[in-house]
Amino acid sequence: MSTIKPSRILAIDFGRGFSVIAMIMVHTLWIHARQDVQSDTFLGHFIHFVGRGTPVFLITMGVSFMISRNQDIKSAVKRGITILGVAYLMNFLKFLAPILVGLMPDSFIAAYGWEIPLNLEEYTYLLLTGDILQLAGISLIVLALIRAYLKNKFILLGLAVLIAFISPELRGFQSEIFGLNYITQLLWSDGYWVYFPVFPWISFILLGMFFGKWYVEKGYNQNELFKRMGIVGLLFIAAGAPLVFMNEAYHFNDFFHLGPGGVIYLAGWNFSVLSIFHWILSKTKDNFLYKTFYYCSKHVTSLYVIQWVLICWGMVIFGFQSKSELGTILLMPIFMGLTFVIHFSVGKIRNIYRSGKTIPKGRLTS
């Protein structure tokens, strides 16, 4: 058994990077494909199936959280607050900015039942829309305390399962107090204003923390980690699938507001997929695709923001939910390519600025 901590868990990086690519495909479908394309075509069904890999991002976040070098509460809280700031900046850039300059399609505004010009309440609604970054930011703040004081991995596992089971029962309780109402929405919303409420989605992060703790205790043995993850994954699928089958409306709901069976079922599939990723990576050589996924993993937050802003601003050119199946397929690599080009370009500019170098005149005139 290895007792030396490896620099990276490649399957975790691979899975997190894969989730970034999957999100670009899913978001392109939601924003640009016609409703019938989303619900009645092979493409729509396939992309929604791929989108069920979203928990991979949260599970890998939990694993990384437990094995990171910096374990103090202050840094985790600071990181959580920063991510929350980025989340609301992203909402401004993808929603409010194109509306304020008069470029957002009327069809997008009409989908909310509104008309131009929007009032302050409607602008606020868009700005405060809950996305996965709000979930990540709040979770980092809460889990910093949990990581510091709950040292037993099975308590983390039990807490994850408990949250999954109580989440549907909490959704009916919303505060009527201004301000506090928004907090309760972020915690256990039952509507689409908050797509990823903390309850139950924090369960996936806690499950990742459980495996992260297990990994540390086993001397950073990756083969053992993913072997156990694969076994637990099969057990979770066996436990969750019957619950979803018997009462899909309660246990799977609309995907965004899962019940306990849906959490267990999806967690099982994502554990299994991560185990398969580890097996594939151990049997194959490094290549361009793998490096792309690793790059996405390293820059997951900034890539996530860029792709969402691009896809929403894309409505200015391509319209809102207006594309055929073929048109949607063609847009996906366009948004992927633009996301990487912008991210790489911003990184280059930042590096030049930090190093104090000037841009050669030849580049400015080329």
DSSP, collapsed to helix, strand or coil, labels residue 171 as coil
Residue bearing tokens 């057990």: 235
Instruction: Spell out the domain ranges in the chain.
Output: 10-365
pLDDT in the model for residue 14: 96
Half-sphere exposure of 132 (CA within 13 A, CB side): 18
pLDDT in the model for residue 362: 52
What angle, rounded to 10 degrees, do the helices at 132-149 and 198-217 form?
50
CA distance 90 to 18: 21
Report whether 271 contacts 232 (CB < 8 A). yes
Residue 289 tokens read as 């695709």
User: Is the backbone of residue 72 left (phi > 0), alpha (psi -120 to 50) or beta?
Assistant: beta
Weakly modelled stretches of the chain, pLDDT under 50: 1-3, 363-366
DSSP, collapsed to helix, strand or coil, labels residue 150 as coil
> Among 298, 224, 229, which Cα is nearest to 13's?
298
Residue bearing tokens 């709950």: 150
Q: What is the DSSP string of 58-107?
A: HHHHHHHHHH-S---HHHHHHHHHHHHHHHHHHHIIIIIHHHHTT-S-HH
Helix (H) or strand (E) holding 13: helix 10-32
pLDDT in the model for residue 358: 53
> Among 306, 314, 288, which Cα is nearest to 344's?
306
Phi, psi for residue 3 in degrees, rounded to 5: -115, 5
pLDDT in the model for residue 1: 43
122 exposure class (CB count in 10 Å sphere: 0-12, 13-18, 19+): middle
pLDDT in the model for residue 284: 96
Burial 41-56 (b: 16+ CB within 10 A, else e): bebbeebeebbbbbbb
> Among 285, 299, 292, 297, which Cα is nearest to 346's?
299
Alpha-helical regions (H) of 299-324: 300-313, 315-318
